[in-house]
Amino acid sequence: MDARLLEKLNSFLALEKKLRTANNEAQIARIACTDSQLLLAFDACLFFSGAGLKLSAASNVSSVDATSSEAQRWRRLVSENLHNTKNSYPLQLEIAGTCNPSDPDQQNTSLFLTLLPLDGGSDILGCLAFVRAKRMSEQELEVLQELGAAVRQSLLALRGVKHFSFRRFFTRRPLVTAAVIAAICLIPVRQSVLAPATLSAIEPRIVSARTDGVIREINIPPNASVQDGQLLFTLEDAEVSAEIDRVEQEIALYTERLRMTRQYNFQQASAGHKLAEAEADLAIRTLDLAFQRTQLDKTRIRAPAAGVAIYTDPAEWIGRRIRAGEKVMEIVQPAARQIQIDLPTNDAITLPQSAPAVFYAESDPLSPIEGELHYHSLLTSEGENLPASYRLLATIQQDQPQVRINTRGHARVYGARVPLIYYLLRRPLASARRWIGV
């Protein structure tokens, strides 16, 4: 075998080895432009990458400026003639009055430009452009085709033959991309909002004191089941008991006085007015006793209905002075409960009648309770550590018995269907409106 041919074969094998071990597209471009000089004689080699034909490498230079006027001139020349490579592959063009990229000072020189597109099947991987002073021979064109096949194979192996790039898709099909984005933005989705919520009782019976006093004893533990009329707690009754004892003693005294007056009335008829006075005094003391016994009964607070008594630690109440009407505990029915939602005004959305709601308890978030709104307050209220909120009440449709009453959590309330773009931009638009002041 000819030594010169063997040398070129070894150079081609070494070039293929370098292309196989390249780590990125830029390295492949530099190898294709620089090491191909051992196989072909040319003045300059340019590598244009991607379907956009961006100049990424050139022979005999370490880096290129793809935004320079010279690079843009060559890119424009390649893109204008690249479609002609379908009829002739590779394509050789004679260029007159164009400067040599390897020698910009040399003007008006006739050059030959050889284009070797790198076809990746569904798209263009890039293009190799060779500039020289004379045409390439048939043998050189065959070597050039083998070189292009090696570079194309390296690029495909690097990015994957079936690799899909959204960036290339969007770049090549802008109208389709815009239509797809517009269609996605118009997809109707159900608007929803998340708000603090509590699993509250329906119409709880409030237990309060009927008179001012100090709680002496609580007769039931917290969360105990009670019956109608059962004693719940007792107020201090020392003063009332003492007053009852005094009135009872006075009644005994006036009873004896009435007896004596009646006996005296039989002896003297003129003593009738004393009998009437004694009877009136006894009647007053009897009414006073009834009043004091009523006051004593008010110190015994009993259950207004059967259910479960809910209140805090008994130690917080025993010895505490309360006023008449002050709430001490509640009597609730554990099965009669609803979802109480405090919807902040900043998150208020349009809610239809019977809007669905889902309650997630903090203690058991994997057991959602489904409900349906039946009340929407038109007034706002501010609770502890809560902003101004609307009160919402939802009837439970699918309950979870293991979740206890008065459990706190969050509820997601679902509103009407709106376009996806509105669902995503509602909060940003509201924030922007507040900042701009519109």
The amino acid sitting at 160 is G
Cα–Cα dist 393/386, whole Å: 17
The per-residue pLDDT of the chain, averaged, comes to: 82
Q: How many CB atoms lie within 10 A of CB 388?
A: 13
Indicate the SS3 state at residue 311: coil
Give the pLDDT confidence score for residue 170 in this predicted structure. Answer: 67
Higher pLDDT residue, 169 or 191? 191
Give the pLDDT confidence score for residue 315 in this predicted structure. Answer: 87
Per residue in 314-365, pLDDT (tens digit) is: 888 988 898 988 889 999 988 889 999 998 888 888 888 889 999 999 988 8
Handedness of CA 154, 158, 164, 170 (dihedral sign): negative
Which residues contact residue 28 at a Cβ distance below 8 angstroms, ignoring those fewer than 6 apart? 19, 22, 151, 154, 155, 158
Indicate the SS3 state at residue 307: strand
Give the pLDDT confidence score for residue 268 in this predicted structure. Answer: 58
pTM given for the model: 0.52
Give the pLDDT confidence score for residue 77 in this predicted structure. Answer: 87
Average pLDDT estimate for 33-59: 84
Full DSSP string of 8-44: HHHHHHHHHHHHHT--SHHHHHHHHHHGGGGTS--SE
Give the pLDDT confidence score for residue 168 in this predicted structure. Answer: 63
Would you give the DSSP letter of residue 204?
A: P
The amino acid sitting at 203 is E
Higher pLDDT residue, 6 or 282? 282
**Whether residue 9 has pLDDT greater than 80:** no
Residue in the block written with tokens 């004679």? 94
Indicate the SS3 state at residue 127: strand
Residue in the block written with tokens 């099947």? 121
Cα–Cα dist 287/91, whole Å: 125
Pick from 20-34, 149-163, 349-363, 395-409: least confident:
149-163
Give the pLDDT confidence score for residue 421 in this predicted structure. Answer: 87
Q: How open is the CA angle 116-119-123, to the nearest 5 degrees?
A: 135
Asked if 96 and 87 count as a contact pair (C-beta separation under 8 A), the reply is no
CB neighbour class for 128 (10 Å; exposed up to 12, middle 13-18, buried from 19): buried
The amino acid sitting at 211 is T
**Whether residue 181 has pLDDT greater than 80:** yes
Per residue in 211-264, pLDDT (tens digit) is: 888 999 899 898 889 999 899 999 988 888 888 888 888 888 888 887 877 777
**Whether residue 62 has pLDDT greater than 60:** yes
Closest C-alpha to 415, from 370, 382, 373, 379: 373
Cα separation of the two ends of the chain: 85
The amino acid sitting at 232 is L
Q: How open is the CA angle 310-314-319, to the nearest 5 degrees?
A: 130
Question: What share of the chain in percent tops pLDDT 70?
Answer: 88
Cα–Cα dist 358/336, whole Å: 17
Residue 376 bridge partners (DSSP): 392
The confidence band for 161, taking pLDDT boundaries of 50, 70 and 90, is very low
Closest C-alpha to 160, from 117, 125, 118: 125
Asked if 71 and 55 count as a contact pair (C-beta separation under 8 A), the reply is yes
Closest C-alpha to 126, from 113, 116, 136: 116
Angle between helices 272-298 and 238-267 (to 10 degrees): 160
Per residue in 92-135, pLDDT (tens digit) is: 888 865 555 555 555 556 788 888 888 866 677 888 888 888 88
Give the pLDDT confidence score for residue 104 in this predicted structure. Answer: 52
Which residues contact residue 15 at a Cβ distance below 8 angstroms, ignoring those fewer than 6 apart? 31, 35, 36, 38, 39, 147, 150
Give the pLDDT confidence score for residue 360 in this predicted structure. Answer: 94
**Whether residue 380 has pLDDT greater than 60:** yes
Give the pLDDT confidence score for residue 269 in this predicted structure. Answer: 55
Residue in the block written with tokens 């609307």? 390
Phi/psi of residue 409, nearest 5 degrees: 180, -150
Give the pLDDT confidence score for residue 74 in this predicted structure. Answer: 87
Task: Enter the tokens of residue 390.
Answer: 């609307």
Question: What share of the chain in percent tops pLDDT 90?
Answer: 12
Per residue in 260-298, pLDDT (tens digit) is: 777 776 655 555 667 778 788 888 888 988 888 888 888
Asked if 38 and 11 count as a contact pair (C-beta separation under 8 A), the reply is yes
Give the pLDDT confidence score for residue 361 in this predicted structure. Answer: 92
Q: How open is the CA angle 346-351-356, to the nearest 5 degrees?
A: 115
Give the pLDDT confidence score for residue 196 in this predicted structure. Answer: 92
**Whether residue 375 has pLDDT greater than 80:** yes
Give the pLDDT confidence score for residue 373 in this predicted structure. Answer: 93
Q: Strand pairing of 205-208 and 327-332? A: antiparallel
Which residues contact residue 413 at a Cβ distance below 8 angstroms, ignoring those fewer than 6 apart? 192, 193, 195, 341, 343, 349, 351, 355, 356, 357, 373, 392
Q: How open is the CA angle 112-118-120, to the nearest 5 degrees?
A: 160
Q: Where are the beta strands (DSSP E) in 165-230?
A: 188-201, 205-208, 213-218, 224-226
Nearest 10 degrees: Cα torsion 370, 371, 372, 377 = -130
